[in-house]
Amino acid sequence: MLRWIRQQLGFDPPHQSETRTVYVANRFPQHGHYIPQRFADNRIISSKYTIWNFVPKNLFEQFRRIANFYFLIIFLVQLMIDTPTSPVTSGLPLFFVITVTAIKQGYEDWLRHKADNEVNGAPVFVVRSGSLVQTRSKNIRVGDIVRVAKDETFPADLVLLSSDRADGTCHITTASLDGETNLKVGVFTLICIYVVYFYVRPLGPENLLLRGARLKNTKEIFGVAVYTGMESKMALNYKCKSQKRSAVEKSMNTFLLIYLGILLSEAVLSTILKYAWQAEDKWDEPFYNQKTDQERNSSPILKFISDFLAFLVLYNFIIPISLYVTVEMQKFLGSFFIGWDLDLYHEESDQKAQVNTSDLNEELGQVEYVFTDKTGTLTENEMQFRECSISGTKYREVNGKLVPEGMTDDSPDGSTPHLELLFLKAVSLCHTVQISYDQPDCLVGGGDPFSHVNGFSSNHMEYYASSPDEKALVEAAKRYSSIRSFPKGLRTLVVACRHFSPEEYIDVDRRLNAARTALQQREERLQEAFSYIERDLQLLGATGVEDKLQDKVQETIEALRLAGIKVWVLTGDKHETAVSVSLSCGHFHRTMNILELLQQRSDNECSCTLYCISSALIVCLLNVLSFRIKEDHVIQHGLVVDGASLSLALREHEKLFMEVCKNCSAVLCCRMAPLQKAKVVRLLKTSPEKPITLAIGDGANDVSMIQEAHVGIGIMGKEGRQAVRNSDYAIARFKFLAKLLLVHGHFYYIRIATLVQYFFYKNVCFITPQFLYQFFCLFSQQTLYDSVYLTLYNICFTSLPILVYSLFEQLVHPHVLQSKPGLYRDISKNAMLSFRTFLYWTLLGFCHAFVFFFGSYILMGEDTTLMGNGQMFGNWTFGTLVFTVMVITVTLKLALETHFWTWMNHFVTWGSIAFYFIFSLFYGGIIWPFLHTQDMYFVFVQLLSSGSAWFAIIIIVITCLFPDVVKKVFYRHLHPTSTQKSQVKRAEKLLRIQHSAPAETNVSSQQLVVV
């Protein structure tokens, strides 16, 4: 029962059985051994909450935040004991913060539910009671017979039962799973025919039709569902969802702990000083504050604890409760700028950038490693034939005919017509290409590469193949004039032949059948059979097929490198193809020293190779240090590792492998399984340096990697939305990654970092005078500010300026950030939230607080008369003066930090100060019947009626802000950062443009007069 409850709340995943028996059409045996409930339903869930677990799970996640949990404790303390302030001062802001955050996170999860419902509610046809009925995808059960028509997506993992094709096969494309648009063949095993005779036939991968794949070139098929929902292979590659937290939020939690320590220290010190004062006989309490007998007889320990908690409540606003809700609102509203950015809009596919979670906006400005898939992410995933070589002769087009481009040393006699014919026959026959004529407007492969051939118009042909290379070759064979030389980044296929006698063919056929029907070691036997066949071959030639790179991939990778971001390519392709693409896209440079960790078969072999690579890197590093070689002239290293070698390296030599990788400028991992990609990301993510990682991919096999990284980005591919649905952000092309990181990431980080520091600063300014006041009221726990001011300071008076600042601030123009990627380094490694910066803002807050309090105290000394009738200001007037100076100063301090002014910045900055004055006049000018006391009645009017008070406000504000202005001027001239230098250059450029514009106008007018 407890496990069921935990599963319903989303804390425990359902148990998965290791083995399963599937009864076709759910015809269960009579003895009842079959338990259908143990299989998952067919729902795909990418959301985090359900209607049942939203409240408890969301509250649990929110109260994991230190500030929220802290204010919950403060609120409970205020309810239990007599405290200086009302419980409303803590309860109302806490309720507001929790509610706004829950609404924001609930809305984002509702969008995920909406996307899931589109998939789970898709119509499908299943066989029920011998009839074909329509139902929803989520209603499919294990054992159901499902009908899938052409171009439809498989709703579950199916075993093929029948196909309309004569050979019992079907063609599928797995573009939504692995990014490959080529066809794969599903095989019908005829198991239904032999079931009467209890014939047992093993099933292989070729019999399984995976969820997410699409049926092609086949009218319809029937299959039995064997794995459904979250137990399908596509879903098993997903990583279990976890709450991603940005580096900024982790810094916030650290700073909150420090401020919690300051709070506890102030509360303990105040409590001790109170009892130290009470111990002196000369400080007798006044007659109106004498203790009762019950108070005198109460336990000293309980009284000490009660006083400590009372001081804790009095100073509790040093922890900024509204910080989290302001951050949530900033992230939510700021995320719309990504979707509105037209530079991230892809016109061809009509797709704009998409934000699935706004919690990681600022993390885009802290990325140190990018892990990218290759096929469909770096490349267009469209194979085009480029050139061929027959018997050592490369062929090119001359006047519409194929002629040899040149002779090689290996073939002095050139190729013969016989070899050319044999080569073209092999290319024409040895493939799985199928032609479809019933979609006249659809042409896979792009363009119009065919003429009228064999009586068919090219516009009515659609080519499908189980290999993208085969498809490209057959398309090229239809018109020789399309062949041309393109030597970079080609996928190569070798063409060879072997002649068999009838007796040899019978032997080969027997070997293959025996291997295919083997129940054990089937793969090994098939490998032996193919090795026997593919020997003594006659080499005919080779082909070159290009998987075209996406637009501006090379420029994007170079920009990321200049920004200090290392790029790792993780792909399932073979070594040669992966290296070729890495070279063509600029991931590897031609001058780069390529190190290889390939085909390692044992731990010892892998260890020796790693030590050799490590030694070479150390020698290179020593040479750099010894000869003081400039950074631009240092030889860069690239590492290539395959999946099998990676498994060995991570088993026993993880630390050594990581050291090698970190000393390489670029890393390429080939032959990678989906979960291996996630393991590599997790390995680097959890290394001692804790770098911020980003993973980007377009297929379902990239989902685990996307979910593992700090930031996951999905590419909106041609088919399938698994990567997009499970990502944090989605873009249409890889080239958009540069602006997403260098511009949006830069802006989001500086905005949120300043927001966090500013919040701590203004709360130190807020509470420190409260602490200082206790020295003058003999630690009687008298509050300096009115309860309404305590409640509204963070919610109304100082919240809007920093919120608007955090939405629109730009230190540098976006074009400058894109043209100078090195500016990204200025904010890397959480530079603006370092302990040094945090200490500066905290000390600045303490300094300003001392000026607020003692400046006001000096003005309102014991012998000073500030009112026209000779009376002195009272306690509440003094507190209001301090509060007024504080609101004006912290607002103007933010104005000094603002570089990019909009009308909205002006409105909220000056409007907040005006609102405070208007509210205070309204609040203090009326007797409110629902308030127990009227302490603030006419206080603010009394304060503003004094010219000395106005003079004090002006002097104190200038005293606080003038040192900041001087510091900014000196630092900008003596120690300018790269960002500040860029600001100056852009300002000078704008001035030159402004000065040159009138001159050009005058010249034009003079020329006009002359004419």
* HEC-encoded secondary structure of 402-436: EEEEECCCCCCCCCCHHHHHHHHHHHHHCCCCEEE
Q: Is 986 within any annotated ligand binding site?
A: no
Q: Is 671 within any annotated ligand binding site?
A: yes
What is the per-residue pLDDT across 594-634, written as a single tens digit (0 to 9) for each? 888 888 778 888 888 888 888 878 777 776 655 555 555 56
In the chain, CATH 2.70.150.10 covers 1-236
Residue 465 has pLDDT above 60, yes or no: no
Asked whether the beta carbons of 179 and 717 are under 8 A apart, the reply is yes
Contacts of 160 (CB under 8 A, 6+ apart): 170, 186, 187, 188, 189, 207, 208, 209, 221, 222, 223
**Mean pLDDT score, 900-911:** 93
Residue 444 has pLDDT above 50, yes or no: no
Indicate the average pLDDT of the chain: 78
Residue 550 has pLDDT above 70, yes or no: yes
Residue 432 has pLDDT above 90, yes or no: no
* 843 SS3 class: helix
Residue type, 892: L
What's the pLDDT at 456? Answer: 37
Q: Is 702 within any annotated ligand binding site?
A: yes
| 804/844 Cα distance (integer angstroms) | 23
* Annotated active-site residue in 144, 157, 178, 373: 373
What's the pLDDT at 268? Answer: 92
Give the pLDDT band of residue 195 (cuts 50, 70, 90).
Answer: very low
Do strands 693-697 and 369-372 pair parallel, antiparallel, or not at all (unpaired)? parallel
Structure tokens given for 464: 């499908």
Nearest to 466 by CA among 166, 168, 187: 187
Q: Is 375 within any annotated ligand binding site?
A: yes
Could you tell me how far CA 728 lies from the centroid of its own chain? 4
What is the per-residue pLDDT across 244-268, written as a single tens digit (0 to 9) for each? 778 888 888 889 889 989 999 999 9
Domain covering 354-377+550-606+634-731, topology: Rossmann fold (3.40.50)
Q: Is 253 within any annotated ligand binding site?
A: no
Give the residue, 277 or 920, on which the prediction is more confident: 920
For residue 642, which phi and psi values (nearest 5 degrees)? -100, 170
CATH architecture of 1-236: Distorted Sandwich (2.70)
Asked whether the beta carbons of 322 and 97 are under 8 A apart, the reply is yes
| 12/909 Cα distance (integer angstroms) | 48
Residue 1011 has pLDDT above 70, yes or no: no
Q: Is 373 within any annotated ligand binding site?
A: yes
Q: Is 573 within any annotated ligand binding site?
A: yes
For tokens 């407007």, name the residue. Answer: 441
Q: In what order do the strands lie in the sheet with 131-136?
A: 131-136, 123-128, 145-149, 220-227, 157-163, 208-209
Q: Which of 188-192, 483-487, 801-805 has the highest mean pLDDT?
A: 801-805
| 124/952 Cα distance (integer angstroms) | 77
DSSP 902: -
What is the per-residue pLDDT across 197-229, written as a single tens digit (0 to 9) for each? 455 666 777 788 888 888 887 888 899 998 888
Neighbour-count burial of 863, counting CB atoms closer than 10 A to its CB (0-12 exposed, 13-18 middle, 19+ buried): exposed
| 36/119 Cα distance (integer angstroms) | 23
What is the per-residue pLDDT across 952-967, written as a single tens digit (0 to 9) for each? 899 999 999 999 888 8
| 105/92 Cα distance (integer angstroms) | 20
| 662/618 Cα distance (integer angstroms) | 12
What is the per-residue pLDDT across 342-353, written as a single tens digit (0 to 9) for each? 999 988 888 899
Asked whether the beta carbons of 732 and 351 are under 8 A apart, the reply is yes
Neighbour-count burial of 769, counting CB atoms closer than 10 A to its CB (0-12 exposed, 13-18 middle, 19+ buried): buried
Do strands 145-149 and 123-128 pair parallel, antiparallel, or not at all (unpaired)? antiparallel
Would residue 373 show up in a list of annotated catalytic residues for this protein? yes
Q: Where are the alpha helices (DSSP H) in 415-518?
A: 417-429, 468-477, 502-516
In the chain, CATH 3.40.50.1000 covers 354-377+550-606+634-731
What's the pLDDT at 848? Answer: 95
Longest dimension (CA), the chain: 126
